[in-house]
Amino acid sequence: MILPKEFYERDTSKVARELLDKLLVRRLKETRMEAAIVETEAYYGEDDPASRAYNGVKNYNSVMWGEPGRLFIYNVHRYWMLNIIAHETGEVGGVLIRAVEPLKGIDRMLMNRPVEDVRELTNGPGKLSVALAVAKELNGTDVTSEEAEVFVLDSDLEPEIAASHRIGVREDLKEELRFYIVGNEFVSR
């Protein structure tokens, strides 16, 4: 079953945690790629120094203030970061998908991003965007519809979850906002 908008209309870190082991689906014309989400990070609004929303509304980040359940895609160095907007009503925030485990359409992912070892295919936020052919054009699209090019399916799995501080940020909050599945081979680092 597809995760409804209400799933994303809750506290950002709670959504980040519960997205683990959910199924990320990328539809591309005739092909369909599926991957399990194994690592996420929560980013809040203007009080979070690591958030893209920290410096207020810009052209590129305005979806962070918008409806939950939409994609937010922004650039870092040469890569695109895939986020899903998730926050309570009136709040600001999103969940960065940091790593996924490829399940279906792996051949297609390898065409997009050739690697020797499949474990290197999607174990980082820039890497998974290349493998799943996700870029700026998808910014702002709705992930709560089966018609969408990207959406997320529910699962019954209950993974063992660990938390840590976010990776690579200059100044973090005191809460641990990075979540990952313990022992999973596709978690970054």
Binding site for DNA (CB under 7 A): 41, 43, 50-52, 55, 58-61, 74-79, 81, 83, 94, 96, 98, 120, 124-127, 136, 166-170, 188
Distances (CA, A) of 15 to 59, 79, 86, 109, 118: 25, 24, 7, 26, 27
CB of 67 to DNA, least distance (A): 17
Using the minimum distance from each CB to DNA, give the nearer residue, 158 or 183: 183
CB of 171 to DNA, least distance (A): 9
Residues 125, 130, 136, 139, CA torsion sign: negative
Q: Is the Cβ of residue 14 or residue 58 nearer to DNA in the bound state?
A: 58
CA distance 158 to 83: 22
CB nearer to DNA: pick between 108 and 158: 108
DSSP 142: B
Q: In angstroms, give the least distance from the CB of 30 to DNA.
A: 26
Nearer to DNA, 34 or 41 (CB): 41
Whole-number minimum distance, CB 158 to DNA, in Å?
A: 24
Residues whose CB falls within 8 Å of the CB of residue 89, separated by 6 or more in sequence, listed in order: 9
The candidate with the shortest Cα–Cα distance to 117, out of 127, 125, 126, 104, is: 127
